[in-house]
Structures are given as C-alpha cells and as structure tokens.
Amino acid sequence: MSFFTKKTAIITGATSGIGQGIAWALNKQGANLILSGRNVGRGQRLEKQLGPSAHFVAGDIKQPRANEALVEAALERFGRLDMLVLSAGQLGIGKLDTLSLEDWQETIATNLNAVFYLLKYAIPEMQKRGEGSVVIIGSVAARHAFPSHPAYSASKGALPALVRQLARDYSPEIRVNLVSPAQVITPLLHNSVKAFDNPDEILEETAQKLPMKRLGLPEDIAHTVLHLLSDQASWITGSNFVVDGGFLAT
C-alpha cells in the first residue's frame, strides 16, 4: 500500500500547471484531495476526472475565510488533514515604477498572504493529530532576477525565510519544506516570458542553455513534492529544494 493511501492533502493552485501535476500524482498514490484553484470550471472538471477521492472547493485564497473553508472541507469530507501543498501563484509583471498598486497587492496576496492564511488554519489541525507535512512551491526567482518581476520575486523571496521559521516553531511533529522550480512548462511560464520582446525565442533559448537541455514538466516537480511529503523524507524540514534543470548553475 502507498504511504499516501487514505491520507488527505489540500492543494492550492490545483487547476493548472504544477499544482495540477501534483494533484494527479497524489491521486495515483491513493490520497484524498481537497482542490483549490481560480477557475471553477477547470476545478470541477478535475474533480470529476480524479474521482470520489477528490473534492474541489471554490474560493479566493487571497481571503482568509477561503483558506479556513479548505481546512473545514478536508475535515468534513475525509475526516483528517495530513498534508498541504501550497502551489498557487501570480506574476504581477511590470517594472516597479510602472507596476500598478493593485498588481503589487494582488501578487503579494496570492504568493505570500495566502500561504500564511492556509497555514494558520491548517497547522492547529495537524497539531491535534500530532503530525503533518507541508510543501510550499517557491521559485528560483528568490535567488535570480528576471526582467520586470519585482512583485513575484519579492513574494517568492520571503518563502525560504518563512519555511525556516516554521520548521523551527513546529518540528518535530510538522515538517515544512520549499520546492523552488525554474522554467516549468505551465501557463504561468508562458505568461512570464511576455516580459520579453521575443517570448517564443526566449523559451527555446532557455531550454538549450539549461544543462538538462529541456524545460521542466509538472511531473518533475511532483516527484520531489511527493518525496518530501512522505516518510522517506522524515528527517527533512526547513529546506529549500531547487528543481531547475541546472538553471542556477548556468
């Protein structure tokens, strides 16, 4: 039997990209899933595709109440909460002097505040069980500057420090780790390269510059996330795992 059988995970950003890849991977391993995402139609379709062990909860994770509702749904539908995968992300493209106040606030709210909200409501429930595992999806943008990504980089840059703090405060019962991808083929990546004058060429050039000679796939990230969620990573917490095809080595 899989380690994940009958355990319950909340996944934010589950309706596309990396979050969806993680949802499929956990589903195949027998986990129960509470899915969160911006697009209600995609969320409902994903719920149907994954079957009765998955449940989509509509809501705006930038709002505290929406995150509380995800925790409530896990407990009401499956009776337990074992894992969190915080994968929702927003770009907020634009140089600092041209970026709107709204785009800055929305990006920080999605990439950082929503992480705080879900953890605030979920950690007490994990403490009641005496165990839990959390993986937050960060970005190499915390360590490498990209054109016109100040809000994204700032919000992702806060996550390594937050993860270290959480590991200090909640170990050994709850493990918290960060996975920081580079260029993974997702809708977010295609929106990100719009900051360049030649987005299509940039993607091809980036793939060829990487030591692995290809862009990442959602399943590349999902493999690392599942390892960190499992007991195979029982001595890992407070860490930042860069999964980047060698990007930071170039």
Which residues are marked as active site? 152
Q: Which helix (H) or strand (E) holds 177?
A: strand 174-181
pTM of the model: 0.95
**pLDDT given at position 119:** 98
Burial grade of 102 (CB within 10 A; 0-12, 13-18, 19 or more)? exposed
pLDDT under 70 in the chain at which residues? 1
Domains of the chain in start order, with CATH, are 8-183+217-243 (3.40.50.720)
1: CB partners within 8 A, 6+ apart: 30
pLDDT at 202: 85
| Closest-CA residue to 150 (of 192, 82, 92) | 92
Q: Which helix (H) or strand (E) holds 101?
A: helix 101-108
Q: Cα–Cα distance between 117 and 110 in angstroms, integer? A: 10
pLDDT tens digits, 197-221: 787 788 889 899 999 999 999 999 9
What residue has token string 């139609």? Answer: 41
Q: Using alpha carbons, select from 62, 48, 53 the residue that is nearest to residue 9.
A: 53
Cα dihedral 81, 50, 70, 89 in deg (nearest 10):
110
pLDDT the model gives residue 199: 77
* DSSP line for 195-225: GSS-HHHHHHHHHHHSTTSS-B-HHHHHHHH
Q: List residues bridging with 30 in a β-sheet.
A: none
Residue 171 CA to residue 163 CA, distance in Å, equals: 11
pLDDT of 2 reads: 86
CB 118 within 8 A of CB 66: no
**6-15: per-residue pLDDT in tens?**
999 999 999 9
